[in-house]
Chain A
Amino acid sequence: MKRERQETVVATETEDEKGKGRMEAEEDGGVDELLAALGYKIRSTDMADVAQKLEQLEMAMGSSAAANDDALLSHLASDAVHYNPSDLSTWVDTILSEFNAPSPPLPPPPLSPAPLQHHFDLPPAGTEQNSTITTVDVPSGPRCQADAYHLDPLHVPAVAGRIVYGSDTQSEVSPPSRDRKRMKLCSSPPSSSSTTDAATSPAALPVVVVDTQESGIRLVHALMACAEAVQQDNLKAADALVKQITVLATSQGGAMRKVAGYFAEALARRLYRPQPARNLGRSTLDFAAFDDMLHQYFYESCPYLKFAHFTANQAILEAFAGCRRVHVVDFGMREGLQWPALLQALALRPGGPPSFRLTGIGPPQPDHSDALQEVGWKLAQFADTIRVDFRYRGFVAASLADLEPYMLLGPDASDRDSEEEPEAVAVNSVFELHRLLARQGALEKVLGTIRAMRPRIVTVVEQEANHNGETFLERFTEALHYYSTMFDSLEGGVSAASDAAVGGGRRDQAMSEVYLGRQICNVVACEGADRTERHEALAQWRVRMGRAGFEPVPIGSNAFKQASMLLALFAGGDGYRVEEKDGSLTLGWHTRPLITTSAWRIASAAC
């Protein structure tokens, strides 16, 4: 019924503009003649304004129904004072102000709706507009909806992510992007309204308040509220919110939906399985094999691991300059994909290759196959091809803390030392050290073991995020922001690369998402010794390494150039950024750093 009224308003408005505009101005202080015949007194000058407010009113009522805000509607039905609608403009104003009184349970987002007013060139209609606009929904016109989704689906997760992270500082950032989004959206409707197509009524209105961002913001708020509820042990509320999150997530597209899905699942796990979930640890059969496969897909589809390998290799190569015997200890051997490139670079260095020894450390395989030896054999074959003297040793260890220095230095050390020059040792850890933080004292022990080997260089690659905060809510917030950005980058990479690609690219992306989803699950759902994904930012690692007696080694510009070149080769690579910060290199997506490679050596003062 309301819509008809709006249609009438529009129809009469456009008609008026055509023929009878001049006549109206003279009558009764400019009251519109046709509407007056229906019983509604409204000034022609107010027409556009009232039309807009009616639209807002409809949005407010429509969206509150969608949010199951039964309280609001029943309030309107029973407690509301019914105003005389004949003075249409004041009626609409009062109804709108009534909508503000019972404000929605979620706190209003920090965005100011000022951008909205820029478009319509209407006189600012007063403050009651402000909070109402936050609940607007997508209008019925399917064309508008398609436009909204089509134009900027990728911006939604980015903005939503930022909202979570900052507080007020971010609100300056978001309105301009909202502005841009609204600018784009409104460019089409005004043209359609000029065609005076009154049949497609909402599309013809100059009031297009399309917003997928709104549901995105609500989704983020729901996630935060759920995390808070979990922290306060309010299981009922958390349960309800998890369900709401799942529903809201379906209204989103792309990265945001997937991230929300994983977080919702992790929260559900946390709620319904309080005892440590065994299959989130590294112990089961399926997990280990599946994990390796996922790792492989993650390696192929996005540049993070390649970046890690290339920058670490460059640092090791430079540290080994001039050494005739080198020994590399790899804390996470897996498939050994980092080492062919290093072997090749050593083979080509001026002065010829050194004699190379590799010690690989890996977790125990559930089916007792000797994966480490397989990898070693393959590398030996490769080294043989390019004529580099190569020796390999594999170590199976459930945790790095189980290692002792004498194991790693090996039997050769004692005989050879007297004859030839000592080995130059490099220790390499890619996404391994953070696991040690789950056990008290484990990291200190491992760092002590490393020190005992007297390495020339220790390369550490870690996620650039603090997912090891004191409170659950802190960790949740950080993780939400971090993984939103990661998923964004996956989205950007694949979509740019594959206009026609099916199968391969998407499968890689999907598998990489599962890989990240496991991490999310671990951060959110596990506690204590099971929570192994205890990422910490570079600043925190600096403190830890400093305490253990290491000092940073700056990673040179060669690594920077090579990394930049590598990223340029990835389709969709314009979102990736390599940055140098105090001698370490970080790879990030747009403005957010995601992983950091840093290099260390034993502090000279401590020797």
Chain B
Amino acid sequence: MYNKTPGWLPRFASATAEGSMLPEEVGEEEGEEEEEGRKGRRRTGFSINDNVDLLAEILGRLDGRSLGVAGCVCRLWSAVGRKDSVWEAVCHRHAAGGGGATRSVVAALGGYRRLYRLCIGPALDRLAGSDGAGLSLSLSLSLSLFSIDCYERLGGRQQQQQQSASLLFLCKPVDVS
């Protein structure tokens, strides 16, 4: 039901910004939504913002980019969008593998959100760009790269802030001219 394109998002955004009640779910009475939203209470009085767990569950089904966008909707959504559990769901959706102990190790290394931002996201972009040829990203590979990056950032005894460059090969080049 939820595709990658969050076409429903702007409508939520506009409704929320006006502080009125949100319509329930996507696909219902699209023409009427905005009008009713503006007018005030809907029939059922259900607000997604009152059900944070449900919101987290929904957001966890997005892809990374959409989740980032969703985090720009409002403060509540931003807070929910930062929860590592939400990103954990996203990571597991895109990278196969991982066992029970994964969560604690990933948390120790910096969290799922960071893992996605540094490793899984760029890797997926790279695979999509080139001919992915059905190679699915494995979580273990992402974790290996992530751990190398985390290690590089550790200071030595001097506690200096290290520049981590081992993941540069994944990043798209940025034109700094």
Contacts and interface: CB of A to CB of B under 8 A. Distances in A.
A1 B104 CA distance: 82
Nearest to A563: B141
Interface residues of B, number: 42
A379 B156 CA distance: 10
A565 B141 contact: yes
A497 B126 CA distance: 10
A385 B109 CA distance: 7
A280 interface: no
A504 B108 contact: no
A345 B132 CA distance: 25
Interface stretch (B7-15, B74-82, B167-175): B167-175
A317 to B, nearest CB: 10
Interface string A447-476: 000000000000000000000000000000
A352 B144 CA distance: 17
Interface string B97-135: 011011011001100000000000001001100111101
A365 B57 CA distance: 55
Contacts of B141: 310, 562, 565-566
A91 interface: no
Contact of B132 (A310, A503, A568): A568
A571 B102 contact: no
Place the interface of chain A in its size category: 35 or more
Interface string A329-341: 0000000110011
B161 interface: no
Contacts of B157: 374, 377
Contacts of B154: 378, 381-382
B21 to A, nearest CB: 45
A579 to B, nearest CB: 17
Contacts, number: 114
Between B123, B141, B146, the greatest number of chain A beta carbons within 10 A of the residue's beta carbon is seen for: B141
A499 B175 CA distance: 9
Contact of B169 (A336, A347, A571): A571
Contacts of B143: 344-345, 348
B147 interface: yes
Interface in A516-566: 561-562, 564-566
Contacts of B170: 569
Given A340-B151, A348-B99, A499-B173, A568 B130 contact: yes
A108 B169 CA distance: 43
Nearest to A377: B157
A501 interface: yes
Given A387-B108, A569-B123, A574 B130 contact: yes
A300 B166 contact: yes
A25 B24 CA distance: 89
Contacts of A341: 144-145, 147-148
A565 B126 CA distance: 11
B138 interface: yes
Contact of B101 (A299, A352, A504): A352
A386 B109 contact: yes
B147 A500 contact: no
Between A310, A343, A378, the greatest number of chain B beta carbons within 10 A of the residue's beta carbon is seen for: A378
B99 A301 contact: no
Contacts of B109: 344, 385-386
Between B105, B123, B130, B151, the greatest number of chain A beta carbons within 10 A of the residue's beta carbon is seen for: B151
A30 interface: no
A571 B152 CA distance: 22
Given A385-B109, A568-B132, A574-B130, A300 B144 contact: no
A501 B108 contact: no
Contact of B137 (A382, A385, A498, A565): A565
A379 B147 CA distance: 11
B176 A347 contact: no
A300 B151 contact: no
A505 interface: yes
Interface of B: 98-99, 101-102, 104-105, 108-109, 123, 126-127, 130-133, 135, 137-138, 140-141, 143-148, 150-152, 154, 156-157, 165-166, 168-170, 173-177
10 contacts: A343-B147, A348-B102, A348-B105, A374-B156, A382-B147, A382-B151, A504-B168, A562-B140, A564-B135, A568-B135
Q: Sorted from nearest, which 8 A-B pairs have the closest CB atoms?
A: A501-B173, A500-B175, A341-B144, A340-B151, A344-B147, A340-B147, A498-B173, A385-B108
